[in-house]
């Protein structure tokens, strides 16, 4: 069995691209293609499908990817163990986050402390971010309102509050102290999809307070909510950590119970001693 071929396959499976896999391995794209072609021909098996947009795994490719991910993950752990006393100068860290606002300052701090570390950041919703961490496609993740579970190491990061997002000319825009959650009863609103953490927290708080807003639009991004509010289609909600500097809209704190979200840093428990992961957790006070 040729480990160079398996490593090339593993890189393509992780990256979903021959080009990115080549960059990951610091070899040419034709070399990656050649390794995988030789692997498929030797074992008379099809591991990858090339589509117009990306590279997809076949059923057998998915099974092999699960093995190579674990195999090369253990190889990485062995390398880290053997180099434990060396100064942390280089390496690659896979980071996932359910939003950019908390993770970006952390990446800036990481770069300042360890300029030789390369970071690959993937942003997605809460479910995608947790899935990336549990499947070990990500080394660390910044998550919101995740419950403790076996095999997962969690570190408190910060808290945020749910705010109402209104047009700059709205009557509430001048109420810096905030507005009661009850004021949103029967108010026309434009909100994120029900799967988003901000929406879930808001809906739960409304249900507990018997507040029934009128949802006009459900949107799949924070940016879309901002645009809808700026167009005066309704009132939105936003986490306090997501508040930008758009002069067209104003974020006003909501007053009520159950409107606080907890943000946490997470990794797979058995990998928490890896030096790159320790370096990232070290950016958090008490981490």
CATH code at position 19: 1.10.10.10
What b/e sequence results for 116-154 when a residue is b if at least 16 CB atoms lie within 10 Å of its CB, and e otherwise?
ebebbeeebbbeebbebbeebbbbbbbbbebeeeeebbb
Whether 137 is covered by a domain: the verdict is no
Helix and strand numbers, DSSP H then E, in the chain = 9, 12
- pLDDT tens digits for range 205-235: 999 999 999 999 999 888 899 999 999 999 9
Say yes or no: 253 and 166 in one domain: yes
- The mean pLDDT value of the chain amounts to 90
Whether 132 is covered by a domain: the verdict is no
| Helix, strand and coil percent figures for the chain, each rounded to 5 | 45, 25, 30
| Percent of the chain at pLDDT exceeding 90 | 70
pLDDT for 86 equals 56
Total count of domains within the chain: 2
Whether 227 is covered by a domain: the verdict is yes
Query: For residues 144 and 262, is the Cβ–Cβ distance under 8 A?
Result: yes
Range of the domain at 215: 159-260
Report how far Cα 215 is from the mean position of its chain's Cα atoms. 27
CATH code at position 223: 3.40.190.290
Whether 122 is covered by a domain: the verdict is no
What b/e sequence results for 161-198 when a residue is b if at least 16 CB atoms lie within 10 Å of its CB, and e otherwise?
bbbbbbbeebeeeebeebbebebbeeeebbbbeeebbb
- pLDDT tens digits for range 15-67: 999 999 999 999 999 999 999 999 999 999 999 998 777 899 999 999 999 99
Report how far Cα 85 is from the mean position of its chain's Cα atoms. 31
* Secondary structure class of 227 (helix, strand, coil): helix
């Amino acid at each position: 069995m040729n480990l160079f071929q398996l490593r090339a396959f593993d890189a393509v499976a992780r990256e979903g691209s021959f080009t990115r896999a080549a960059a990951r391995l610091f070899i040419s794209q034709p070399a990656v293609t050649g390794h995988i072609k030789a692997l498929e021909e030797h074992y008379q098996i099809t591991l990858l499908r090339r589509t117009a947009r990306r590279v997809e795994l076949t059923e057998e490719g998915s099974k092999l990817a699960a093995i190579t991910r674990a195999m090369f993950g253990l190889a990485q752990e062995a390398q880290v163990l053997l180099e434990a006393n060396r100064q942390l100068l280089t390496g690659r860290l896979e980071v996932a986050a359910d939003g950019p606002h908390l993770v970006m300052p952390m990446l800036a701090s990481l770069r300042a402390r360890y300029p030789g570390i390369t970071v690959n950041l993937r942003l997605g919703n809460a479910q995608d971010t947790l899935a990336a961490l549990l499947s070990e496609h990500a080394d660390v993740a910044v998550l919101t309102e995740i419950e403790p579970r076996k095999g997962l190491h969690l570190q408190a990061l910060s808290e945020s509050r749910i705010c109402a997002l209104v047009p700059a000319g709205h009557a509430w825009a001048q109420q810096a102290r905030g507005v009661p959650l009850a004021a949103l009863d029967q108010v026309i609103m434009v909100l994120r999809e029900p799967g988003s953490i901000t929406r879930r927290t808001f809906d739960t708080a409304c249900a507990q307070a018997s507040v029934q807003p009128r949802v006009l639009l459900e949107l799949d991004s924070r940016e879309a909510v901002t645009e809808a509010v700026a167009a005066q289609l309704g009132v939105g909600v936003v986490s306090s950590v997501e508040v930008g500097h758009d002069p067209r809209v104003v974020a006003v704190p909501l007053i009520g119970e159950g409107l606080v979200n907890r943000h946490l840093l997470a990794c797979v428990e058995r990998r928490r001693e890896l030096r790159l992961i320790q370096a990232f957790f070290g950016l958090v006070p008490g981490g």
